[in-house]
Structure 1
Amino acid sequence: MHHLSADTQQANNNDYLVSKSRAWFAFAMTFALMLFDYIDRQVIVSLFPHLKAEWNLSDKQLGALVSIISVVVALGGIPVALLADRVSRVKSVVVMGVVWSLATISCMFTRNYSQLFMARAMVGVGESGYGSVGAALIASLFPARLRSMLLGAFFAAGSIGAVLGVVLGGVITARWGWQAAFGVVGVPGLLLALLYMFVPDYKTAALDTRPAHEQGQAKGLLAHMVSALTSSRTLWWTCLGAALQLVVVSTIWAWLPSYFNRLHGTPVDQAAMQSALIVLCGAVGCFVWGIVADVAGTKQPRNKLKTVSFLCMVTAPILVVAFSAAESMNQQFLLIALGGFLMTCTVGPASSVVLDVVHPGLRSTGAALLSLFQNLFGLAIGPFVGGALSDAFGLQAALTAMPVFGLLAALCLLRASRTYERDLQEVAQIQSAIAEQPAGAAASMTA
């Protein structure tokens, strides 16, 4: 692991911070670990029918096994990212990967719902901050012109991991039982976490660009951190919009295997395969819409957010029609696939926007703030509320109602577009001030 000092970064981040080969190695390792993050997180959804039958669980209890991870990630994300920003992103990732992999393996030894719930919570403890720290690392090592595309690809690993988790869960359970599924997916993540020590790190930028003798102590540092995170309206509206859209995504991901199993009588392993195809459409969408957003924002950056807002607005009615008015199973599957392709449109662009408008010395923390919103008000809401609606009105009614959250997401992102360009200018001024500092001053508050 090697640290690159913040004063070697270009003011506009138009160049690679390290050699291309080392930057792409860092991306590959970060992508791979994100893949197993979501394999470990989503493997359980294809096990729902078995857990429901074995322990007589309600849909709300099943949904909680998914939502608890998002709640813990949301609560732990900012403290972990703050520590990573001031100490080491790479070491933080290594520790997180080891913890969540061991917690996943421990799920195979649980013997009741309470034990499994606690083990899943520990998976969330390990995953706290990983997405935000990984995104900050990628954003800092690569040129700004590639940011939305690379972050879209990075977070697409989450969709691909969810696909593999659902598929592997169904296949392994059919052959060796649901306990074995956790053991099989947990070990590779553990090995990757240890290999991550070879990824290059960087020293973060100073939070206070004043001369060292004018800077305050801990209280002043905290004040600068709070000010940097609260000054951007773009950041807050983007976080809220991204979270609301993920309510839709998490609902579809969590309950689609059960929907195919219950409503169409599809065997569990086949339902997992069909659901995996939908999630795979979302993985492609993460990458494609990241590119589209970059292109749309080339001349007018605010068009990046306007484009994503439009896509959210289109997604909602497609999914509502899919679950309420499709005339055949084939037609329904195609509509759900189209909705699945569209519904991940916010993943890459939202991360890019947040990293664009947050202080360069707080990128991990800014990304963790986005992660808090996405997990607590997005990923945690979908499976649990969807399960509660399913208990009350049936699973089909729940899946018909939940996509409406996408319309609220569209309004939030449209509001964020109004202040995006102004906030970009403010960050550019901060980066220029950092670049003009003497090397010693710039390094005085780095990790």
Structure 2
Amino acid sequence: MTDSRSAVDAANNPYASTRTGYYALCILTLVYSINFIDRQLLSILQESIKADLLLSDAQLGLLTGFAFALFYTFAGLPIASLADRSNRRNIVALSLTVWSGMTAVSGLALNYGQLLAARVGVGIGEAGGSPPSHSMISDIFPPEKRASAIGFYSTGISIGILFGFLFGGWLNEFFGWRVAFFVVGVPGVLLAAVLYFTVPEPIRGLTENRASTGDSPSMLSVFKLLLSRPSFILMALGAAMNAFAGYSSSNWIASFMIRTHEMPTGELGSWLALIIGVGGAIGVFSSGVVADKLGKRDKRWYMWVAVCACAISVPFQISMFLVDDAYLALILLIIPAVL
């Protein structure tokens, strides 16, 4: 029965052509890029927003941090569970529509409460982007090509950061922060339609020669399994602390450079796009190569590479906030951005 079902699935595989698979990968990578463009945009715009809406730094911190992260985290769990049981392409398309639409709506905000509500909407929408996309890629590409496909998909982070800073900085300087939200948000809604109508839902388990039964483990059983493994707990804590420091710093770098060194947003956005966007892409690629090479001798190097990168970054990250010259501060940022 299983063999016959697998044969039927193979005959109906919408990704029998490799061209279709790579097209879907490119669309999903664009979606991931927009995810980070919309996420990064606020940090380069927040000084203009603060002046226009008369906000405090505490309110800005809530917008860029807690309000977004809280809903992003807790919405992601049920959405990921839903993706195990339903059409993942539809979930990604709907999520993209929600977060891009809420990004555009942010440009209409007249007060802090409205902007906060829009930001919460962005967080909820973006929570439904990555988990279903990873699952789709795993069912489009066989195991021997999957790592490369995921690696290509991950470039969306650097692409998004690059264009988020670049577009946000110059749009804000010439047209204002409201226009920046519109210009960045609307294309995402259009891309959602392209995704929905041109990217088919892959057959679950086909690339691993197994038929999907439609069943998936409960969230509780998954939590129990993960929490029973000390290595997972330690890695999760380490990643959480790294994200805490990294995102806190990146969310305020633009404000720091504008307030302390009086850099215009257009020029600053260009510098940050190159340093964090391009530098981050180089770091992601090179760290993977180094980890794979050293990991052949000792699997612990996969963790040690990350630890070394964090340790080396610390003095450079601190120093950039202490120097008097704006361009020296940006130069010091290169090392943490790459690592």
TM-score by length of 2: 0.83
SS in 1 for 2:84: helix
Gaps of 5+ in 2: 8-14, 206-212
SS in 1 for 2:42: helix
Gaps of 5+ in 1: 9-16, 206-214, 343-447
Q: Matched residues in 2 for 1:223 and 1:47: separation?
A: 40
Select the residue among 291, 303, 307 that pairs with 2:289. Answer: 291
Q: Which amino acid aligns with 1:46?
A: I
Structure 1 residues 138 and 296, CA gap change in structure 2 (3 angstroms): farther
Q: Which amino acid aligns with 2:80?
A: A
Q: CA deviation at 1:162?
A: 2.1
Q: Which amino acid aligns with 1:168?
A: F
Q: Which residue of 2 aligns with 1:106?
A: 105
Q: CA deviation at 1:114?
A: 0.8
Select the residue among 221, 224, 241 that pairs with 2:238. Answer: 241
Identity score, percent: 30
Select the residue among 238, 245, 250 that pairs with 2:247. Answer: 250
Q: Which residue of 1 aligns with 2:35?
A: 37
- Residues 216-231 of structure 1: pairs in structure 2 closer than 5 A: 224-231=221-228
Q: Which residue of 2 aligns with 1:63?
A: 61
> Contact 1:152 / 1:286 at 8 angstroms: preserved in 2?
no
Q: Which residue of 2 aligns with 1:162?
A: 161
Select the residue among 329, 334, 337 that pairs with 1:332. Answer: 329
Q: Matched residues in 2 for 1:133 and 1:287: separation?
A: 23
Q: Matched residues in 2 for 1:222 and 1:272: separation?
A: 41
Q: Which residue of 2 aligns with 1:201?
A: 201
Task: Decide which moves more: 242-251 or 78-87.
Answer: 242-251
Q: Higher RCO, 1 or 2 (CA under 8 Å, sep at least 6)?
A: 1
SS in 2 for 1:109: coil
Q: Which residue of 1 aligns with 2:10?
A: none
Q: Matched residues in 1 for 2:297 and 2:6: separation?
A: 28
- Residues 426-437 of structure 1: pairs in structure 2 closer than 5 A: none
Task: Decide which moves more: 287-296 or 42-51.
Answer: 287-296
Q: CA deviation at 1:176?
A: 1.9
Q: Matched residues in 2 for 1:267 and 1:223: separation?
A: 49
Q: Matched residues in 2 for 1:304 and 1:44: separation?
A: 33
Q: Which residue of 2 aligns with 1:184?
A: 183
Q: CA deviation at 1:170?
A: 1.9
> Contact 2:44 / 2:269 at 8 angstroms: preserved in 1?
yes
SS in 2 for 1:86: coil
TM-score by length of 1: 0.64
2:47 is aligned with 1:49: yes
Q: Which amino acid aligns with 2:140?
A: L
> Contact 1:96 / 1:126 at 8 angstroms: preserved in 2?
yes
Q: CA deviation at 1:323?
A: 2.7
Q: Which amino acid aligns with 2:316?
A: I
Q: Matched residues in 1 for 2:335 and 2:152: separation?
A: 19
CA-based RMSD: 2.9
Q: CA deviation at 1:246?
A: 1.8
Q: Which amino acid aligns with 2:191?
A: L
Q: Which amino acid aligns with 1:32?
A: L
Q: Which residue of 1 aligns with 2:257?
A: 260
Q: Which amino acid aligns with 2:199?
A: V
